[in-house]
């Protein structure tokens, strides 16, 4: 196999390839851009006009999506998967991937859109570097721009695979809905305010149709059965080959709106939920959800409310959970 077909191996080994550009047998061009970033260009005459950004490993302990992208790259390098669009593969946080930790100094997915300029951390440099790579990738007008940022969650979920869409005043497109249905994604959460995540950065700055996909539990490398992401892999292969996505009208994607963010304001923050409570667990109307310094209290005020990403151990100033409601 071509050396550039082993991006994960190069990244974990902190190795820079001697050949930065290689051609697959079918003419597909692989171009190593920087640590963990590979540009894939289809053969001449095969480009169907889409720029597809696929990212994973923004958090270094979320390994299943990283292994999924590596499987796709192996198939491209072997000529089994034939790209018909430009693809930028991004392994987001190489330093954290090497340590098998969520991040080294700061959550990378809270540093985009210029936030990295005011926070001194290892991840700030990486956020700036990734913003530069994105700017170089999305240069040509008139092309379809897609960004799928692949993650896994820290805890179990009552809806195992779900998506988050950055803040937008546009309705969900038929293309995004087909992506969700083809991949078997169970729910879509619509953000209602700007954020400093990678997908929000590309959506706001480059008008991408962007989604953050949560694809199960965060497990160590080698502990992720490929079959669990087979449907997602099928969807990504169809996107890479510019095939039409069949969707599945019989697959209901539940829609949720984010009603509130729980922000941890001080070390005194307390979340009144069990540590093993799964994502999308229902919340009792009127119950006390969290408390913080200066008398801050969060009560459950919405009927049908559920909790997503509860984590009282985040750093002060970061999100400790989302309260979502059916939309």
Q: Point out the residues that are catalytic.
A: 214
Q: Are the C-beta atoms of 35 and 203 separated by less than 8 Å?
A: no
Q: Are the C-beta atoms of 180 and 97 separated by less than 8 Å?
A: no
Indicate the angle between helix axes 174-183 and 230-240, nearest 10 degrees: 140
Q: What is the DSSP string of 134-202?
A: HHHHS--TTSEEEEEEEEEESS-BSSSEEEEE-S-SSPPPHHHHHHHHHHT--EEEE--S---SHHHHH
CA 313 to chain centre: 21
CA–CA dist 322, 310 (Å, integer): 7
> What does the angle CA 34 – CA 35 – CA 38 come to, to the nearest 5 degrees?
60
CA–CA dist 249, 247 (Å, integer): 7
Strand partners, 50: 144
Assigned token pair, 143: 């092309």
Q: Count of CB atoms within 10 A of residue 160's CB? A: 19
CA–CA dist 228, 233 (Å, integer): 10
Longest dimension (CA), the chain: 65
- What would the 3-class secondary structure string for 223-261 be? CCCHHHHHHHHHHHHHHHCCCCCCCCCCCCCEEEEEEEE
């Amino acid at each position: 196999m071509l050396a550039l077909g082993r991006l994960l191996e190069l990244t974990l080994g902190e190795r820079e390839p001697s050949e930065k550009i290689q051609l697959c047998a079918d003419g597909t061009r692989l171009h190593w851009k920087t640590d963990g970033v590979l540009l894939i260009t289809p053969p001449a005459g095969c480009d169907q006009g889409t720029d597809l950004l696929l990212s994973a490993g923004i958090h270094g302990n979320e390994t299943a999506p990283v292994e999924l992208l590596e499987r796709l790259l192996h198939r491209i390098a072997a000529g089994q998967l034939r790209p018909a669009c430009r693809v930028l593969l991004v392994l987001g946080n190489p330093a954290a991937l090497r340590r098998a930790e969520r991040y080294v100094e700061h959550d990378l997915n809270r540093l985009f859109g210029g936030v990295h300029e005011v926070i001194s951390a290892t991840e700030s440099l990486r956020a700036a570097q990734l913003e530069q790579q994105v700017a170089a990738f999305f240069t040509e007008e008139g092309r379809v721009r897609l960004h799928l940022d692949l993650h896994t969650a820290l805890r179990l979920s009552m809806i195992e695979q779900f998506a988050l869409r950055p803040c937008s005043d546009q309705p969900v497109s038929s293309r995004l809905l087909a992506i969700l249905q083809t991949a078997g994604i169970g729910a879509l959460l619509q953000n209602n305010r700007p954020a400093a995540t990678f997908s929000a950065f590309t959506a706001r700055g480059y008008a991408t149709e962007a989604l953050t996909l949560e694809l199960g539990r965060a497990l160590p490398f080698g502990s992720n059965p490929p079959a669990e992401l087979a449907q997602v892999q099928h969807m990504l292969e169809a996107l890479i080959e510019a095939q039409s996505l069949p969707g599945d009208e019989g697959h209901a994607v539940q829609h949720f709106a984010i009603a509130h963010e729980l922000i941890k304001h001080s070390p005194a923050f307390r979340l009144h939920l069990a540590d093993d409570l799964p994502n999308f667990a229902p919340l009792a109307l009127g119950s006390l959800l969290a408390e913080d310094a200066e008398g801050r209290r969060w009560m459950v005020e919405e009927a049908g409310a559920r909790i997503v990403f509860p984590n009282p151990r985040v750093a002060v100033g970061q999100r400790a959970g989302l309260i979502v409601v059916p939309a």
